[in-house]
Chains A and B, each alone.
Chain A
Amino acid sequence: MSTELQSRTAAPSAKRPPKPVGPWRSNIGLKIAMAVSGVLMVLFIIAHMAGNLHVFEGREEMNAYAAGLRSFGEPLLPHESLLWVLRIGLVASIAVHLWTGIVLSVRSHHARPVKYAHRQQAKGESPNAYLTMRLGGIVIILFVVWHLLDLTWRTVNPVKDVHDAYGAVVATFDPSRWPVTVFYLLALVALGFHLRHGVWSAVQTIAGPGTKWRKRTQATALAVAVVIVVGFAIVPLSVTFGLVE
């Protein structure tokens, strides 16, 4: 007699994503890759935010800091070594973060083919996280494209001289270009919600803390999100309200 359990119906044969191959392609494996790439980007963002605050020291200090980033490690290291490490690391992190995000979202979509007729308000520890992460992520990626065109490549910035970082910041957040500032602030809010969940979720995925440490991580994530949003928002607001000219 076979002791094998027989299901009453065959395994679902509905349209499903292809079978994951190997542990690192599993949902948790992809989530770990997403978490690691996210943590790397958070570290970059904190450094970026701190660097931005040089704007309050005036044009020369800010531009000297920008030049210092390019000449970091010279003459031992080639010109722009630090920047190239950051660029490659960021592009790789964004690629991993986006790819895992898309694959996991598609799998989630297939996992609930029929929606509920009665929608109930979320009551989990991070309510509606899947919205702030996925929709928020789309807002953030659109912002990153704009940000590169504006303050990195200066395609849409009135100040074309790449060595005048200060001038570019002051020009782009000029009160006459208020939609730019509004979009910047909205993207920051999206980033804030993304990080408020993302930071503790990454720790939960990589380290898997117990209840006590999970609560501490959640508090830390909120603090990180607030610091980053305030730290970034203070620059455009200061320019718009004439504190930095």
Chain B
Amino acid sequence: MKLKLRIWRQSDADAKGRMVAYELDDVSEDASFLEMLDVLNERLIAEGGDPVAFDHDCREGICGSCSLVIDGQPHGPQGATTTCQLHMRKFKDGDSIDVEPWRAGAFPVIKDLVVDRSAFDRIIQAGGYISAPTGTAPDAHAAPIPKEDADAAFSAAACIGCGACVAACPNGSGMLFMAAKVAHLGLVPQGQPERRTRVLGMVAAHDEAGFGGCTNTGECAAACPKEIGLDVIGRLNRDFRKAAVRAA
């Protein structure tokens, strides 16, 4: 299949970027989106040009490295799918495809389509963990957890921290990411001792990184490759309110 691509090219963090057009012939519809970019890059290298920089790692949809806003949609047009799992058969011969990086002040572009997502690391450092004693691990069934809570915690823990929620949000908010972590740890007994300090710390780190607030518009949940829902944001709001009232 033939494709017309428009890709965001930016040589470094301080450079001014722009959309650059490329044409590709003979794209296999069995190729993944990233393999299609690999083909383009091989051609660019052969021509002596600068290949398009993009993030990727496992290419199995679980590492959270790949990003790319494809035709205005984080991870592209297919629901519940990361860019690496998106295949070219979702597109038609002759399609024009726009490829842009995650757009957020808190995610500055490093080069081309690669953004610095370390703001998420700072949010995790501010409370997205549990403190556990070292030594022999306790028996897994020593702390009983209701099935419903375990399932909800597991769903929230499916967050791969890719940042599609931020990319999709009209406010550039990281609420869904933060809420997934707060829900995942807050639903299990191991997360209880730090529940209040966690939510206050993470919210402060989130705002300090320059992420926007939540309008409850739901674009994040629609874009999430792991289908994390707005219920985790409700839980975050609830935990935050309780913690803030007690801290006041």
6 chain-A/chain-B pairs, Cβ below 8 angstroms: A7-B121, A8-B116, A26-B240, A27-B213, A129-B216, A201-B216
B22 to chain A, nearest CB (A): 15
Contact check, B244 vs A112: say whether CB atoms are below 8 A apart: no
* Interface set, chain B 198-220, CB cutoff 8 A to A: 200, 203-204, 206-220
Contact check, A8 vs B110: say whether CB atoms are below 8 A apart: yes
A76 within 8 A of B: no
Write out, one digit per residue, whether chain A residues 168-202 have a CB within 8 A of any chain B CB (1) or not (0): 00000000000000000000000000000100110
Contact check, A112 vs B248: say whether CB atoms are below 8 A apart: no
* Interface set, chain B 163-183, CB cutoff 8 A to A: 170-173, 175
Contact check, A130 vs B231: say whether CB atoms are below 8 A apart: no
- Interface range, B side: 35 or more
Q: Which residues of B contact A208 (CB under 8 A)?
A: 233-239, 241
Contact check, B105 vs A113: say whether CB atoms are below 8 A apart: yes
Q: Which residues of A contact B112 (CB under 8 A)?
A: none
Segment from B37-45, B67-75, B130-138 that makes contact with A? B67-75
Contact check, B73 vs A27: say whether CB atoms are below 8 A apart: no
B147 to chain A, nearest CB (A): 16
Contact check, B204 vs A108: say whether CB atoms are below 8 A apart: no
Q: Which residues of B contact A20 (CB under 8 A)?
A: 204, 207-208
> Which among A112, A116, A119 is the interface contact of B212 at CB below 8 angstroms?
A112
- Interface range, A side: 35 or more
B103 within 8 A of A: yes
Write out, one digit per residue, whether chain B residues 216-229 have a CB within 8 A of any chain A CB (1) or not (0): 11111110000001
> Which among B69, B73, B110, B230 is the interface contact of A125 at CB below 8 angstroms?
B230
Write out, one digit per residue, whether chain A residues 86-128 have a CB within 8 A of any chain B CB (1) or not (0): 0000000000000000001001101111111111101111111
Q: Which residues of A contact B240 (CB under 8 A)?
A: 23, 26, 28-29
> Which among A12, A112, A122 is the interface contact of B219 at CB below 8 angstroms?
A122
B208 — nearest CB in chain A belongs to which residue?
A19
How many contacts between A and B, using CB within 8 angstroms? 197
Contact check, B105 vs A124: say whether CB atoms are below 8 A apart: no
B65 to chain A, nearest CB (A): 13
A24 CA / B200 CA spacing, docked (Å)? 10
Contact check, A112 vs B104: say whether CB atoms are below 8 A apart: yes
A24 CA / B234 CA spacing, docked (Å)? 17
For the complex with contacts A104-B213, A111-B104, A120-B73, 9 further pairs of A-B residues with Cβ separation under 8 Å are A30-B213, A110-B105, A118-B72, A120-B72, A197-B217, A201-B215, A208-B238, A208-B239, A209-B231
Contact check, B214 vs A7: say whether CB atoms are below 8 A apart: no
B106 within 8 A of A: yes
A5 CA / B116 CA spacing, docked (Å)? 13
Mark B residues whose CB is within 8 Å of A. 6, 8, 13, 19, 69, 71-73, 98, 100, 103-106, 108, 110, 116, 118-119, 121-122, 125, 170-173, 175, 200, 203-204, 206-222, 229-231, 233-241, 243-244, 247-248
* Interface set, chain A 1-50, CB cutoff 8 A to B: 5, 7-9, 11-12, 14, 16-17, 19-20, 23-24, 26-32
Q: Which residues of A contact B221 (CB under 8 A)?
A: 124-125
> Which among B71, B208, B218 is the interface contact of A120 at CB below 8 angstroms?
B71
* Interface set, chain A 122-152, CB cutoff 8 A to B: 122-130, 133
A127 to chain B, nearest CB (A): 7
Contact check, A117 vs B100: say whether CB atoms are below 8 A apart: yes
Q: Which residues of A contact B105 (CB under 8 A)?
A: 12, 14, 16, 110-113
Q: Which residues of B contact A119 (CB under 8 A)?
A: 72
A220 to chain B, nearest CB (A): 15
Q: Which residues of B contact A201 (CB under 8 A)?
A: 215-216
